Amino acid sequence: MTAPLVVAVTGSGQGIGLAVARRFAERGARVVVSDVDAARCQRAADEIGALAVPADVTDAAQCRQLVERTVAAHGRLDVMVCNAGIMQLKPFLELEAADWDRMLGVNAKGCFLSLQAAGRQMLQQAPLAAGRPRGKIITIASIAGRSGAGPIAAVTPHYRASKAAVLSLTQSAAIAFAPHLTVNAICPGLVESEMWRGIDRDWGALQGLGEGQFWQQRIASIPMGRPQQPEDVADLATMLAAPESDYMTGQAINVDGGLMMN
């Protein structure tokens, strides 16, 4: 009988991260929920029956502790989902160094530190099964890290740069850890979440739009005809953790309802 997967998800107190953690739990995995907000982390873990390990991904020691506590509780770490991230809208010429540092600190450095801590553990453990990798790492990037993005690009240069960095980091890690681990990125689109509600509010304030107007404009262009749900990302994450994707590494996969086709 195959042992349950051991899965840790950063930034999983809410939104996409919580949906990913919940989906893995529903499929029988032993899940570790991690979030910088300790209370939110514990609530999410209690909801899905997971272990709560609060962690600030910008701190290397806390990333190591997340992995260590996961292994202490479950014996190994099979899948790390590097999801923790933040968003901010601010006109290009109004951005300050502190804005840049915070965004790149969480989204790029945080992804690197959690990925690195997971990689160190996975490389020293036995494979998931004969002929399979020793572990799998999934980063959460964004279609914003690719080309385009329209007028909103002018107020999200630091966010877009951080997600482009995640894509590049994913490729570097895939090469560094092959053939023992796989490392792939998921690029969500317009996800109906707290983050996008904040974007709608802030962009609306900049453009003189009412609440929800910008969101409705954006989702009107989705070929699949509906806004994206966090569960759409979660389903792809579970696929990337499955044996069927063992030959995939270094890939950045759009899951956006057809907004960006490549």
Amino acid at 46: D
Catalytic residue among 159, 177, 203, 214: 159
Clarify whether 159 is annotated catalytic. yes
Residues recognised as catalytic = 159
